[in-house]
A and B are shown apart, each in its own frame.
Chain A
């Protein structure tokens, strides 16, 4: 066990799974980097450095730079998975799914069902997501509700370095297509990460803290902001539970409902746009399954229903922050 960054945790997961299973291959744009350069061969290791060192360790047969052709390499990942490999492909920014969604939505996600259960598609599509890097509307989205909406996909949103590693190893070993979303603002966050290989199961939420006054359900980077809000609220005598579902497909409805019923007051914090997003989905779930236990309306804390803006002032206003989360909790507790 040692302190590692979110980025290093992911890198370690890739190294360990590539060492453990020769069927695991990695490809995407710039995942090796340094091709043709004078420096070390894996000089870059991807736009965010997550795949650094893989080329040197596993060679060009298993770590491939692709053209900027997301449809081709995501489609090829589906075909390679369908016939026996375990590809891990990288979409540099999840926003680029726009040019290759057919390969995910109509192809890989549907093989198993369309073919009557006779296909297996063990592929992982890693992508960065999230606002905060001043990257504007086409490099900042949180598109996990789109993927969650598509049957046949598993969708993973780690919030900590520990979960990043364990969930990525689980994703690589999983026999279904997995969309693995890495909030780019978390790459340098550090935390305790075991050195050995381990998995974190899908569909099991992490209970970040427990308190009886209200339940906050939050995803990805919003978990940390919910924790900041909880500290402020604790000083006011309000004790909250925080639930981090970790995966939106499958979704740990059991844990969500358990704490919704226990506290009767729920705030859902979601970095995705509010319409048809995870916050709306979870609010609907609780309203349907735990109505009698509710003591207040379920509140959603989300960005406005707009694209992500560029100017720092605007982007900061766009993202939910600890103050907004704390306000929402105060409202449900005072109801």
Chain B
């Protein structure tokens, strides 16, 4: 899917209908993808487990709609949303989740390691905070090569407890790198309320490095997109790095198996976010109120996306697994089989 910077801005919202509807559709696609992934887990059709992005859609979409296809992102263990928002296709994603050969990583990575280089997604990461160095290195490459691309480093509030973040912020600030550190604060570090384990304010930690920092409502896709477009443009002009804290909420548990959450999270709190602050519902209401789309049109978008998702799942469930001989492939560049290589056979 071709991605271009949205022109969404002040003025008559109907002038930007195409951009707005694409953002709406992308958020719906993420939700539909996650609902299907959850069902695949619950029906024991998926190996392993996965972490749902539902509830945080406005973050990934608001930011990625401000990026060009050549811009890079690094993602997290909760990464399906970033992957979809940066342009990935359902079929290859479901194939990867189900460990099939047609998956983005030929079934070698699974949910926590989806990467889609063709769209600039450098990969999800199963180590909390693990991608911060990669994103910073990508931005260093852009600066040293005189390239214009920007790298967005997505991570959660839990990752702000990792020392690596402080190391890379120092380096990125010193070298004025075109990187945006985007902290999706969903309030929970795995099964612990982040307020219980984080001293002070997260944003001030970034400011201490002289990094211009922002807080934005991560449930409001337009607010996120407006800020992202501004910061991406500035980062391209060499004014980076930046830090953004996006206030959001995780609808599911830490992972799909975390079903009974009463021991760490109130049901009322979940209900409140879902009923009052849902990013898709609220954006849909706004689109209707501004006359960009009718309720029927939005329902039709939802139905079409759900059909796409169901079709992709059906395809992936029938798709072949990688053959067993691929187990020792893809370890080294230009070496078909790593074991053979170690045995002295030359590539």
Contacts and interface: CB of A to CB of B under 8 A. Distances in A.
Interface of A: 23, 25, 61-62, 64, 66-67, 69, 71-85, 87, 102-103, 106-107, 111-120, 122, 151-152, 154, 174-176, 203, 249-254
Nearest to A84: B141
Given A102-B130, A252-B344, A253-B344, A81 B137 contact: yes
A116 B104 contact: yes
Given A79-B134, A82-B137, A114 B171 contact: no
A242 to B, nearest CB: 19
Contact of A66 (B125, B171, B333, B344): B171
Nearest to B149: A83
Contacts of B123: 111, 114-115, 119
A76 B137 contact: yes
Interface residues on B, range: 35 or more
Contact of B342 (A78, A119, A253): A253
A37 B346 CA distance: 49
Given A75-B133, A106-B130, A62 B144 contact: yes
B292 to A, nearest CB: 37
The 4 closest A-B pairs by CB, nearest first: A75-B133, A79-B137, A116-B106, A76-B137
A81 to B, nearest CB: 7
Contact of A118 (B105, B140, B164): B105
Contacts of B164: 71-72, 75, 102
Contacts of A114: 105, 108-109, 113, 115, 123
A83 B115 CA distance: 13
Contacts of A103: 133
Contacts of B344: 203, 250, 252-254
B323 interface: no
A113 B108 contact: yes
A311 B105 CA distance: 51
Contacts of A250: 341-342, 344
27 contacts: A25-B144, A69-B167, A71-B163, A71-B164, A72-B164, A72-B167, A72-B168, A75-B137, A76-B171, A77-B137, A79-B137, A80-B137, A80-B138, A85-B145, A102-B127, A106-B127, A107-B125, A107-B133, A113-B331, A114-B109, A114-B115, A122-B333, A152-B331, A249-B342, A250-B341, A252-B344, A253-B344
Give the residue among B139, B333, B334 with the most A Cβ atoms within 10 A: B333
Give the residue among B74, B142, B167, B334 with the most A Cβ atoms within 10 A: B167
Interface string B200-229: 000000000000000000000000000000
A107 B130 contact: yes
A174 B341 CA distance: 15
B117 interface: yes
Contact of B144 (A61, A66, A174): A61
Contacts of A249: 342
B132 interface: yes
Contacts of A254: 344
Contact of B141 (A74, A79, A106): A79
Contacts of A154: 332
Contacts of A62: 144
Contacts of A76: 133-134, 136-137, 140, 168, 171
Nearest to B129: A102
Interface string B324-340: 00000111111000100
A79 B106 contact: no
B339 to A, nearest CB: 10
Given A72-B168, A250-B342, A252-B344, A118 B144 contact: no
B343 interface: yes
Interface of B: 72, 74, 103-109, 113, 115, 117, 122-123, 125-127, 130-142, 144-145, 163-164, 167-168, 170-171, 174-175, 329-334, 338, 341-344, 346
B171 A79 contact: no
B332 A80 contact: no
A265 to B, nearest CB: 22
B105 A115 contact: yes
B333 A120 contact: yes
A252 B113 CA distance: 32
A151 B338 contact: yes
A203 B334 CA distance: 14
A83 B342 contact: no
B130 A67 contact: no
A112 B330 contact: yes
Nearest to A111: B123
B133 A85 contact: no
Contacts of A174: 333
A176 B136 contact: no
Given A67-B167, A79-B136, 20 more contacts: A23-B145, A62-B144, A69-B171, A72-B136, A76-B133, A79-B140, A80-B138, A80-B141, A83-B72, A102-B164, A106-B130, A112-B332, A117-B329, A119-B117, A119-B123, A122-B333, A175-B333, A203-B344, A203-B346, A253-B343
